[in-house]
Amino acid sequence: MVVRNDDSISFGLGITAGVIGLISLILTCVGVGLPSWYIGMNANNTITLAEANLFYSCYTSNGSQVTTSSKLTCVSYNSFSCSTTSYQNSVLNVTAYLSGCTNPNSDAAIYSGFDAPIYQTSINSFYTLRSAAALSIISILFIFFATIFGFLTGIFLLNIYLVFIAPILGTIAVIFGICCLVTTGSVLNYTGAGFALFAVGILLELIGVTLLSIVSGRLNGMNMKKRIQEDESVFIQRPEGHVIVRRVQKRRT
Q: Are residues 16 and 98 in the same domain?
A: no
Among 72-76, 140-144, 207-211, whose mean pLDDT is lowest? 72-76
> Is residue 243 in some structural domain?
no
Q: Is the predicted pLDDT of residue 229 greater than 80, yes or no?
A: no
Q: How many structural domains is the chain composed of?
A: 2
Q: Are residues 114 and 170 in the same domain?
A: no
> Is residue 99 in some structural domain?
yes
Q: Are residues 221 and 171 in the same domain?
A: yes
> Is residue 253 in some structural domain?
no
Q: Are residues 133 and 115 in the same domain?
A: no
Q: Are residues 135 and 106 in the same domain?
A: no
* pLDDT tens for each residue of 170-208: 999 999 999 999 999 989 888 889 999 999 999 999 999
* pLDDT tens for each residue of 23-54: 999 999 999 999 999 998 887 878 888 999 99
* pLDDT tens for each residue of 5-26: 778 888 899 999 999 999 999 9
> Is residue 241 in some structural domain?
no
Note the pLDDT of residue 253. Answer: 44
* pLDDT tens for each residue of 80-126: 988 887 777 665 555 667 788 998 988 888 888 888 888 888 899 99
The C-alpha atoms of residue 46 and residue 203 are separated, in whole angstroms, by: 31
**Among the three residues 121, 145, 168, which one is the final residue of a domain in this structure?**
121
Domain span including residue 223: 8-34+128-233
Note the pLDDT of residue 139. Answer: 97
Q: Which of 207, 216, 217, 219 is nearest to 143 (CA)?
A: 207
Q: Which of 75, 72, 51 is nearest to 63 (CA)?
A: 72
> Is residue 45 in some structural domain?
no
Q: Are residues 26 and 132 in the same domain?
A: yes
Note the pLDDT of residue 238. Answer: 46
> Is residue 106 in some structural domain?
yes
